[in-house]
Amino acid sequence: MYLEKILSPDDVKKLSRDELKLLAGEMREALIGKLSMHGGHCGPNLGFVEAAIALHYVFDSPADKIIYDVSHQSYSHKMLTGRNEAFLNPLKYDDVSGYTDPKESEHDFFNIGHTSTSISLASGLAKARDLKHERYNVIAVIGDGSLSGGEALEGLDFAASELNSNFIVIVNDNDMSIAENHGGLYTNLKKLRETRGNSECNLFKALGYEYRFVADGNDLNQVIETLKEVRNCAHPVVVHMVTQKGRGYAPAEKDREAWHWHEPFDIASGELKSRGNRESYDGILTDYLMKKAGSDEKVAVITAATPMVMGMDRAKREKLGNQFIDVGIAEEHAMAMSSGLAAGGAKPIFGVYSTFLQRTYDQIAQDVCINSNAVTVLVYLASVNGMNDVTHIGYYDIPMIANIPNLVYLAPTCREELVSMCDWAVEQNRYPVFIRVPVGGVESANRSISTDYSELNRYEVLSHGDTVAILGLGNFLKLGRETAALISSELNIEATLINPRYITGTDDELLENLKKEHRIVVTLEDGVLDGGFGEKIARFYGRSDIKVLNYGLKKEILDRYNADEVMRKNRLVPSLILEDVKKILG
């Protein structure tokens, strides 16, 4: 086996072309083996095996620097840079993350997980190299899907004319984003593929790049020869390389969208190893969206290249027709266009992962909120129980958006409230309304739920008690209920339990009233404490005798954490909260 013996890129360079091809086969087998047990990004990695080999064969990493966009296609790169065991030995699978990470290897230059960043990051390296009078190759690898992101387009535009030195952009064109591509630039990529790179109408040439076309990016020799030609170039070059997403694993070649990222699967059949069938908040929203759009043709359901976040599979997208808008990887555009849709009298609903919402801060503040346009935004996986890669943490949303004027951010706590809040948001036309989609097991209301949220910042009191009041925001209402139960059994105090519902403001009247029969107010939020919900409550009571205990997550960089451990460390556990309450009650 060749792969076992690859301890660094130097070992790649020693192999013959035929041996490299055998190596590619072994790598693909290792990929499929790990992915079948571990899950991960299938399509992007299977398609980039040969290119990763060619890059390490032609260039001298880490002196030459290869920057992977999203870096979800970097598994092969990892195998060739001293991390092969993490793909060969199941016990070591978790030794590496699914993205590049400088702490793992000197061959990784950035922690990258969001799309469309590689060209800008790489152009910084290239410029630093030039300022320091050093000489090496800088190579940015970017997929066609990521090209439509604003950061990538800004970088592509800049590097074309402003660097004037070695800079190589590899456009890994597999004719797919996560789902199918959307946007005009893809008509140009198609034209370039059809003309084998010969069309005069060429986006990259228009920007000023030298342009090379590789018709089969899964043909090692083609890739190697082209990379040799551009190595040590003294100006910006685009290598447009056509690869096959999912290459070498039939189910992934066939359904490229489903196999972009995949749970563990049975290799022979391609079937999921375990299929969850529990009711989920996401599924409730999918049903709501289909029904709503079906009954009102002014409803537009919007995604930025992640239709499955809202459960919008191909059949549902087709059913929604022109009421479903996938803008491609272009979150800024999605948010601003939503504002335009609302201004034009439509009812836009934009569903987005919390971590990718970060791309749209300015569009939220300027395009949406200053204009008070009634956009509905569904914010997914904003929770300590969301994605846990350092680049995909979703619980920084509250400080980011809840302090923007005019924005209403709602935190539903159960099935009925989620649907009621959504429907109110879509039907009203006064506020931009963001909804923090609950994470966790589906709860039911067991009480009547309001259908009108237009009187802002009215918290809901679930049980009236005394001495201790607990504000359990969104996902953590359940924790609040458990804490109240423990306080009741341990201290014989019936705590007041409150569902704040509104993240963006304080219910001053209610908070004022709490002063009469309470000594302690506890806030619980499934988000970072700094700049969050609880601090607003602490400020409100700053000049009073009420003691405020804020619970939430510490502001810190975490990567692939264990959520239960993080909860405990932050004392988000009924018994620890009880301890703190007891200390104050004396």
Site for its own copies, residues 149 to 188, rule: CB under 8 A:
149-151, 153-162, 182-188
Distances (CA, A) of 79 to 42, 74, 250, 547: 15, 9, 22, 54
63 scored as a contact of its own copies (CB under 8 A): no
Longest dimension (CA), the chain: 82
Which of 425, 529, 566, 577 forms a contact with its own copies (CB under 8 A)?
529
Among 478, 530, 574, 576, binds its own copies (CB under 8 A): 530
Q: Nearest-CA neighbor of 252 among 28, 71, 23, 26?
A: 28
Q: Cα–Cα distances in Å, from 440 out to 150, 165, 478, 559? A: 33, 51, 10, 20
Q: Which of 336, 374, 462, 479 binds its own copies (CB under 8 A)?
A: 336
Binding to its own copies by residue 403, rule CB under 8 A? yes
CB of 334 to its own copies, least distance (A): 8
Residues in the chain: 586
Cα–Cα distance for residue pair 157/116, rounded to 1 Å: 13
* Residues from 265 through 294 that contact its own copies (CB under 8 A): none
Residues 315-334, one symbol each (x = binds its own copies by CB under 8 A, - = not), give -------xx-x-xx-x-xx-
Find, among 352, 137, 354, the residue nearest to 236 by Cα. Answer: 137
Binding-site member from 18, 234, 269, 345 for its own copies (CB under 8 A): 345
* Secondary structure letter of residue 273 according to DSSP: S
Q: How far is the CB of 389 from its own copies (least distance, A)?
A: 10
- Applying CB under 8 A, among 59, 68, 109, 380 the residue interacting with its own copies is 109
End-to-end CA distance of the chain: 68
User: At its nearest, how many Å lie between its own copies and the CB of residue 515?
Assistant: 14
Q: Does position 110 bind its own copies by CB under 8 A?
A: yes
Two tokens, residue 386: 């969301």
**In whole angstroms, what is the distance from residue 185 CA to residue 153 CA?**
11
Q: Are the C-beta atoms of 311 and 340 separated by less than 8 Å? A: no
Is residue 208 near its own copies by the rule CB under 8 A? Answer: yes
CA 352, distance to chain mean position in Å, is 8
Q: Whose Cβ is closer to its own copies: residue 222's or residue 323's? A: 323
Q: Indicate the residue among 8 and 372 with the shorter CB distance to its own copies.
A: 372
Radius of gyration of the chain (CA): 26
Residue number with CB closer to its own copies (193 or 205)? 205
Contact 226, 239 (CB under 8 A): yes
CB-nearer residue toward its own copies: 154 or 517: 154
Name the segment binding its own copies (CB under 8 A); options: 130-138, 414-422, 435-443, 453-461: 130-138
586 binds its own copies per the rule CB under 8 A: no
Residue 408 found at the interface with its own copies (CB under 8 A): no
Site string for its own copies, 357-396 (x = CB under 8 A): -xx-xxx-xxx-xxx------------------xx----x
Query: What are the beta bridge partners of residue 521?
Result: 469, 548
Choose the stretch contacting its own copies; rule: CB under 8 A; options: 284-292, 491-499, 536-544, 566-574. Answer: 536-544
Span of 309-317, 340-348, 415-423, 440-448 interacting with its own copies by CB under 8 A: 340-348
- Pick left, alpha or beta for residue 239 (phi over 0 → left; psi -120 to 50 → alpha; otherwise beta): beta
Please work out the total of residues on this chain that contact its own copies, with binding judged by CB under 8 A.
118
